[in-house]
Amino acid sequence: MNIFKKNKINLYLKNSFKHNFDRESFLEFKNLYEKNIKNSSVSIKKKSLNKLKRWQYLDEMLIHETGRFFSIRGLDVEINEKVWEQPIIYQTEIGVLGLIGRIIENRIDFLVQFKFEPGNLNFIQISPTIQATKSNLDKVHKGKKVLYQELIQNNFENEIVLLDSELSEQNSKFYKKKNRNIIKILDKKLIQKEENFVWLSLGKIKQLCLEDNIVNMDLRSILSGVSFHEDEENSEINNVNFDSLYERELSLFSYQKINSLMGKYNDYNNQNIRLIKFKELKNLRDWSLSEGVLKYKIKKFFRILGMQISSKGREIEKWDQPLLQSVEPENNVLFLFKEKDSLLVLVQFKIECGCSEVSEIGPTIQFNGYEEIDETESFLISLYKNGNQNLKFKVKQSEEGGRFFREENLNILKELDLREKEMINNKISSQKYNWIELGNLIKLISIGGPINMQLRSVISIISLETII
């Protein structure tokens, strides 16, 4: 029998979602994780931006001597009537985030790695099988080859691709940055587990997402696009019965509803003005290089730090680079309402300076405590803080440690009761906010739709257990 038949894949996915840690296996994993942190042999020291090895701090930008990897550039921003200037991470290369799976014991397990990144809060986090820039894949750093890259880059007989879409990163700090998110199921004979890698089911990864700062941003991005493998709109899943509303959302979608949301999204973008111009770093208003750090005139927004890093086990063991450090954490809150046969979530069209279009689709609330908020945002924040406290989860998650220094944000799913939903419907008339089924968002993610990283991060944590 061909184990790669689609109806079997859906059954194996379902079993993978349901295969969780028990107490003993969870403690065993935590011990392995903590052992990796203890043995990571990491050294991180702050260093002046204008003294970073192989980096050039020019009037125009901070750039690597090869012109590859990424740079820090200045931006002049106008969004409707609001005007400001800021530095931004500029990276034209599309990174590769690859997750490789195998079929074992009637489920799919995925190969993840204990990966060091210089900006991680705890140095090591669980990441995809492959997490690399094109520069790293091309060995511009003159270091070791990226493990497993040939399994992602090459095609294999009977492989099944569950996800292959280009998705954004944080749009207020990256300029139009995209990563290719890909999931491949391969014959297990092709895959040899290397040191610092481990096999985990979807259920186990979802459990780890409920722990603070263990599952990294790139793996969460990939997880957000996982659904039952299906080609036909609303067709039945072969040999798979729905045991929960969550499984139903992983299985069904409606192009009609997706197109309706995207029509509203395009109208919203056309009705708002966003003007972007690049500007020399040295001329950014209210920003300056002080004591080797590029920072705002007061302790607000973020700053750019220089770092000298060494770590065993990376493609290159010693290097310098800039990292972005945020001043305040962000709160990413998604409102959920359970209907009889669907899970509705309230999303917003979030305008940010680095979006490929004017906006992307974000969570209900996305705020950091110092940005100006309008009356509608104030109402939603008040409802989150003062309404029923039926929080399905509230967990701290780190942002990508290769670009951000010890940045963690709160990811929250709040279930509304009928009274709260009616309050929202009566209070909010703006086309900026819309209800949509969770399954339609996951489908949008799978086809590279404009779903921002903050919303994808919350979606990645949703599971069979959190929806109960």
The tens digit of pLDDT for each residue in 402-452 reads: 999 999 999 999 999 999 999 999 999 889 999 999 999 999 999 999 999
- Band of pLDDT at residue 134, cut at 50, 70 and 90: confident
Take residue 289 and report the two structure tokens written for it.
């290089």
Q: Domains in the chain, please, with CATH?
A: 6-41+94-216 (3.90.79.40), 43-91+275-326 (no CATH), 255-274+329-467 (3.90.79.40)
Q: Average of pLDDT values for 61-82?
A: 96
Q: Average of pLDDT values for 261-279?
A: 98
Q: What is the pLDDT of residue 142?
A: 63
Q: What is the pLDDT of residue 28?
A: 97
Spatial distance between the Cα atoms of 403 and 400, rounded to a whole number of angstroms: 6
- Angle in degrees, 0-180, between the axes of helices 6-18 and 202-209, rounded to the nearest 10: 40
Contacts of residue 373, defined as CB under 8 A and 6 or more positions apart, other chains included, come to: 367, 381
Q: Average of pLDDT values for 88-110?
A: 96
Contact indicator for 19, 12 with CB cutoff of 8 Å: no
Contact indicator for 2, 187 with CB cutoff of 8 Å: no
**pLDDT of 241 over the 80 cut:** no
pTM of structure: 0.95
In sequence order, what DSSP letters do the residues of 328-363 get, joined into one string?
Answer: S--EEEEEEEE-SS-EEEEEEEEE-TT-SSSEEEE-
Pick from 140-149, 230-239, 364-373 the range whose average pLDDT is largest: 364-373
How many percent of the chain have pLDDT more than 90? 85
| Beta strands, E only, 122-258 | 124-127, 130-132, 160-168, 174-175, 178-185, 197-201
Q: Average of pLDDT values for 309-322?
A: 86
Gyration radius of the chain's alpha carbons: 22
Take residue 162 and report the two structure tokens written for it.
């569950």
Q: Which residue has the tokens 């001043």?
A: 327
Q: Average of pLDDT values for 136-145?
A: 75
Spatial distance between the Cα atoms of 138 and 141, rounded to a whole number of angstroms: 8
Spatial distance between the Cα atoms of 425 and 434, rounded to a whole number of angstroms: 10
**pLDDT of 313 over the 70 cut:** no
Contact indicator for 4, 236 with CB cutoff of 8 Å: no
- Angle in degrees, 0-180, between the axes of helices 23-38 and 202-209, rounded to the nearest 10: 70
Q: Average of pLDDT values for 81-102?
A: 96
Spatial distance between the Cα atoms of 379 and 403, rounded to a whole number of angstroms: 33
Residues composing the chain: 468
- Band of pLDDT at residue 399, cut at 50, 70 and 90: very high
Q: Tell me the average pLDDT of the chain.
A: 93
In sequence order, what DSSP letters do the residues of 237-269 get, joined into one string?
Answer: PTT----SHHHHHHH---HHHHHHHHHHHHHHH
In sequence order, what DSSP letters do the residues of 318-331 get, joined into one string?
Answer: EEEEEEEEESS--E
Q: What is the pLDDT of residue 288?
A: 96
**pLDDT-wise least confident of 76-85, 214-223, 233-242, 396-405:** 233-242
Q: What is the pLDDT of residue 233?
A: 42
Q: What is the pLDDT of residue 317?
A: 85
Q: What is the pLDDT of residue 234?
A: 41
Q: What is the pLDDT of residue 283?
A: 96
**pLDDT of 96 over the 90 cut:** yes
The tens digit of pLDDT for each residue in 189-216 reads: 999 999 999 999 999 999 999 999 999 9
